[in-house]
Amino acid sequence: MKKRIISVILIIVVICSLTITAYADACNHDFDFKYDALEYVYYDDEQCTRYHVDYYQCSICSAYLRFEYYDGIYAHSFGPYIFVGYTAGGLEWWYRDCVNCGTRIDYFQ
């Protein structure tokens, strides 16, 4: 009797999972643009790049797409020099940050 109950439960689970799978695959996706996120990221010592992430969601079901790409390469745009202090050897220590990607460049004089 126990085996029969377990078999019936397993058959119901299989039928339900097939129904859910068939329903999920039946959607003819109609993706709508939701939003994008962008930020500058470090590329090399002289350049940074913009990193985009675009999000789309299906208007019929809850599926979504995510596209990631880089949008060109730009020269760093450094802010003003900021004085840190003196090194043990007596050199002045200054730095500048890129206002786009935040890369820090240290200078010693």
Distance CA 50, CA 42 (A): 9
The pLDDT value recorded for residue 15 is 73
Residue 88 placed within a domain: yes
Q: What is the pTM of this model?
A: 0.52
Residue 39 placed within a domain: no
Strand partners, 78: 98
| Interval 54-98: pLDDT, tens | 999 998 888 889 988 888 888 988 889 999 999 999 999 999 999
Residue ranges making up the domain that contains 101: 78-109
Distance CA 72, CA 51 (A): 9
Dig out the tokens for 14 from the structure. Answer: 């299989």
Residue 49 placed within a domain: no
| Interval 4-48: pLDDT, tens | 776 666 677 667 666 665 555 578 888 898 988 888 988 888 899
Residue 96 placed within a domain: yes
The tally of domains found in the chain comes to 1
Distance CA 76, CA 50 (A): 12
The DSSP-derived string for 77-90 is: -B---EEEEE-TTS
Residue 50 placed within a domain: no
Residue 45 placed within a domain: no
Residue 44 placed within a domain: no
Strand partners, 100: none
